[in-house]
Amino acid sequence: MTTLDDPGRLLAVWEAAATAPPAARGPVLLHAAGLLPDLDAALDLPVGTVAALAARLSVDSFGDPVDAVLTCGCGEVLDVALPLEPVAGLPAGVTGTVAGGALRVRAPTARDLLAAGRSGDPLGTLLARCVRDAADRPVAPAELTADQRRAVDAAAEELAGAAAVVLRTRCPGCGETVVAALDVAELLCERVAGRAPAVLAEVATLAAAYGWAEADILGLPAGRRRAYLALAARRAV
C-alpha cells in the first residue's frame, strides 16, 4: 500500500502539485507519490482511472471521509464530510460504443485534456481525439447529429467514472440544492498542503538541533524521527 506517511514522498507530491498544469495534476501527483513510475504512460491513462487512484491514495494517507467546503450561490459556506472510499472503488471505462456501434468513444486522458486546453476549440478537440467511426477513423464533431452528440456525451460521462462525480447537498441557508463537481486531485492537493508545513517544521527542527542534511532526516524511520524530535524539544527547554 502506497501512502504519503513517508515525509519525503509527501514533500515530493507537495512540490509537484505547485507546478503541475491543472489538466495533468492527477497523473503528476500520482507519479510524484511513486504510484505511477512512468509519467508518460500516466498521462495516457483514462481520467477516471487516475481519479480513482488519487481517491485511494487520499484515503490511505489521510483517512476518510474528507472535510470539504462548498459555497452555495446564496453565499452560505457548507462544510461537508465527503466519503472518498466509494469514489476510489468506481470502475473506469476505456472505450464504449454508441449509435448502434457506428461510433466508438474513448475515455479522455490527461494528454487529451492538455491538447484541448491548448486549442481554440477545447470541446471540438476532445471530440476529435476521443471519437472514432466503425472503421476507426476520427470523426469531425460537425459530422455528428444532435442525437449522436447526446449519446457521445452520455458515454463519455459514463467512462469518466471517478473523474465525473458530482456532489449534491441541500443548503441549510436557502434550501436550494448545491451541485459541485468533485475534483479528487484538488482535494488531494489540499490535504497534502495541509500536512506539508508540519513536515517542513520537523525537518527544520532536526537540522537545527543536530546539523543533519534534509535527505538524511527524511530518510529516518518514523519512530526514530519522533524520538529525535522529542530529544530536541527537551534540549530546547
Residue 139 in the binding site for Zn ion (CB under 5 A): no
Among 10, 23, 72, 192, binds Zn ion (CB under 5 A): 72
Binder of Zn ion out of 52, 53, 171, 217 (CB under 5 A): 171
Is residue 70 close enough to count as binding Zn ion by CB under 5 A? no
Contact 9, 76 (CB under 8 A): no
Q: For Zn ion, which is the closer residue by CB, 70 or 207? A: 70
| C-alpha pair distances (Å), 207 with each of 105, 201, 216, 226, 228 | 54, 10, 10, 14, 11
> The C-alpha cell of 66 is what?
474528507
The minimum distance between CB 168 and Zn ion, in angstroms, equals 13
186: which 3 cell numbers? 484538488
Residue from 132, 148, 173, 232 in contact with Zn ion (CB under 5 A): 173
Quick one: the chain helix, strand, coil %, rounded to 5? 60, 15, 25
The C-alpha atoms of residue 78 and residue 101 are separated, in whole angstroms, by 44
Q: Which stretch binds Zn ion (CB under 5 A): 40-48, 110-118, 173-181, 203-211?
A: 173-181
d(CA 196, CA 15): 10
From the list 33-41, 77-85, 139-147, 172-180, the region that binds Zn ion by CB under 5 A is: 172-180
What does the alpha-carbon distance between residue 178 and residue 198 come to, in Å, rounded to a whole number?
A: 33
Q: Smallest distance from the beta carbon of 174 to Zn ion, in angstroms?
A: 3
Of residues 74 and 154, the one with the C-beta less far from Zn ion: 74
Q: How many of the chain's residues bind Zn ion (CB under 5 A)?
A: 6
- Does position 169 interact with Zn ion (CB under 5 A)? The reply is no
Nearest residue (CB) to Zn ion, 101 versus 172: 172
Integer CA distances (angstroms), 18 to 11, 12, 170, 190, in order: 11, 10, 33, 11
User: Is-contact 24 114, C-beta < 8 A?
Assistant: yes
Reduced to 3 states (helix: H, G, I; strand: E, B; else coil), residue 78 is strand
b/e per residue, 167-185, with b = 16+ CB within 10 A?
eeeebeeeeeebebebbbb
- 190 touches Zn ion by CB under 5 A: no
For Zn ion, the binding residue among 41, 69, 74, 213 (CB under 5 A) is 74
Our CB check for Zn ion shows the closer of 13 and 178 to be 178
- Residue of the chain from 60, 76, 153, 158 that contacts Zn ion (CB under 5 A): 76
72 or 203: CB nearest Zn ion? 72
**Interface contacts to Zn ion, rule CB under 5 A:** 72, 74, 76, 171, 173-174
